[in-house]
Structure 1
Amino acid sequence: MTDKAAPIGVFDSGYGGLTVFSEIRKKLPQYDYIYLGDNARVPYGTRAFETVYRYTLECVEQLFGMGCRLVILACNTASAKALRSIQQRDLPKLKELRRVLGVIRPTAEVIGVYTVTGKVGIMGTQGTVTSNSYKLEIAKFFPGVEVFQEACPMWVPLVENNEFAGPGADYFIKKNIDHLMAQCSEIDTIALACTHYPLLIDKIRDCLPGGVRVVSQGPLVAESLQDYLNRHPEIEALCSKGGESRFFTTESTDSFNEKAGIFLHDTVFSEQIEI
């Protein structure tokens, strides 16, 4: 077993995970990071569980091969459909210490604190909603909280085609918000269970009744990661600290650089990788 420190890996099927990565890097700027986007096989949200598991495992193994000891699945679909299998089925087979964390648990652990009515809304991809992962996880921490879900299949394409700020997005956002609120008018807290959705947050808030809180995952995941590293010094010691970030994509680097710049509000230079 080697004790050489290495970057923290951050994986997403596309670009949305950059909203989580941005918050992690802001909270923990001292660490090195490798971001991997499996953009050639996006979207994951409509794929079968076994397919998502296989794709996610391949990307996690790629990051392990690049030296990462800790990998964050900055993707709700991968967290819902693949994380548990990887943790229980694949990590125990490895001789070296490796850990994989997701984005659902950090949200589920705190969402009940935000609600007064005990009615929480979840907005995500079809895959995340169908998995019922949020309902199951929230019930573990807040059994008295009632969870209502709404799949928003058009929201990711709107973001990835840079249409999220235009009037065309208004119709779909209002439609899904209205569907969710029709399930229960007492919903007072909504979790954005897709890492693309923070780019739509202003329009989402405009469509909601007054007093409804909207919770984005990025800050919650960053806070949870900091806590995890504090509680697991054996993992923290294996994370290199140079403040550097590298970006990899399974698709065109030109396309990735352009779209990643929208999410990070910064110039991005990526490298293409085959998986």
Structure 2
Amino acid sequence: MVTTQPIGIFDSGYGGLTVMKEIVKKLPQYDYIYLGDNARAPYGNRSFETVYRYTLQCVEWFFDQGCPLVILACNTASAKALRTIQQNDLARLDPDNRVLGVIRPTTEIIGQFTRSRKIGILATHGTVQSGSYLIEIEKFFPDINVYQEACPMWVPIVENNEHLQPGADYFVQKNVHHVMANDRDIDTLLLACTHYPLLRDKIQQFLPAGVTVVSQGEIVANSLEDYLKRHPELETRCSKHGNRFFNTTDSTEDFDNHASIFFGENVRSNHVDLDSGIPVVDHIY
């Protein structure tokens, strides 16, 4: 790992793997290291202070692994921790490194998907509570009306591999109908949680014809490609051997069994103890 400077991709659990999948597809030449903080997941209902503290600890771990750039592929961490880390901690940790999130890239282009200028946001309670999407969309598209809906059962459904089962229908239908009831002219739904793309087919079946469902993986991948082009001083620091490293703070067996559902490939992970700072040691793809 000493000679490798991978791009770090972080999530509280598995959802960030849907983003990593699209990033690797778009930019396969780089080395990547993924960390899922599964031992402390989910982050969605935790306080701002707790999410910030957990996320900062993980960012510090990435920097210890040699990552010059870390992507918070987690909407809750992006909403509750990113700005504080960027403004208060980067100068102390390493002023030449960067930490990016998934909210800004999404809100910069969400206006391209809607004709009616009315959109729905499906997210965790923590992301909704933060108001981050309302604030950011207002900056770029003040003419858009935004309606938010917290979907607290969706992450457990996906992580328990129930997302394709009939039992998930009740919760998906309930939340979809609730957000759409805000305005019959909503023509775009944003999946503002990286777990939710696995429920996309079920979401779509409860929507009126013509409503566009937007997920973040491809958006974030395109944004990262553009960012690296605009910042060659950072891009040249990212190693390019096509390696992928997977890590979890919880059971590697559980992680590997679930991760393939999100990433689309079988993976083998390493266990990381954040308190002791155990480094990545093997399992390279």
Query: Are residues 210 and 229 of structure 1, via their aligned partners in 2, closer, same or farther at CA, if it must alter by over 3 Å?
Result: same
Q: Where do 1:1-275 residues align within 5 Å? A: 6-275=5-274
Shift of 1:95: 4.5
Please say if residues 31 and 241 of structure 1, whose CA atoms lie closer than 8 Å, have aligned partners that are also in contact: yes
SS of the residue corresponding to residue 173 of structure 2 reads helix
SS of 1:183 mapped into structure 2: coil
Q: How many residues align?
A: 272
Deviation for aligned residue 1:265: 2.1
Distance 1:75 1:238 in 2: 24
Q: Give the gaps of 5 or more residues in structure 2.
A: 275-285
Superposition TM-score, scaled by structure 2 size: 0.94
Match of 2:143, SS state, is coil
Q: Deviations over 1:187-225 (max 9, x none)?
A: 101110000000000010000001000000000000000
CA distance in 2, matches of 1:171, 1:5: 46
Distance 1:36 1:95, change over 3 A: closer
Q: Look up the equivalent residue of 1:172 and give its one-letter code.
A: F
RMSD over equivalenced CA pairs, Å: 0.8
Contact 2:90 2:98 in 1 (8 A): yes
Partner SS for 2:8? strand
Does the 8 A contact of 1:5 with 1:237 survive in 2? Answer: no
2:266 partner SS: coil
Contact 1:74 1:195 in 2 (8 A): yes
For residues 186 and 92 of structure 1, the distance between their equivalents in structure 2, rounded to whole angstroms, comes to: 45
Contact 2:19 2:220 in 1 (8 A): yes
Match for 2:218: what amino acid?
P
Q: CA deviation at 1:5?
A: 5.8
How far residue 94 of structure 1 moved from its aligned partner, in angstroms, is 3.3
8 Å contact kept, 2:121–2:190 = yes
Using the alignment, how far apart are the partners of 1:117 and 1:128 within structure 2? 24
2: distance between equivalents of 1:188 and 1:95?
43
For the residue of structure 2 that corresponds to 1:110, the secondary structure is: helix
State the secondary structure of the residue aligned to 1:238: coil
Identity %, equivalent residues:
65
**C-alpha offsets along residues 230-268 of structure 1, whole Å, 9 cap, x if unaligned?**
000001001000001000100000000000011122111
Q: Deviations over 1:49-96 (max 9, x none)?
A: 000000000000000000001000000000000000000000022345
Distance 1:252 1:170, change over 3 A: same
SS of alignment partner, residue 137 of structure 1: helix
Task: Tell me the secondary structure at the aligned position of residue 181 of structure 2.
Answer: helix
Alignment partners' CA distance in 2, 1:21 and 1:207: 28
Q: Deviations over 1:107-149 (max 9, x none)?
A: 1000011111100110000000011100100111001101000
Structure 1, unmatched stretches of 5+, are none
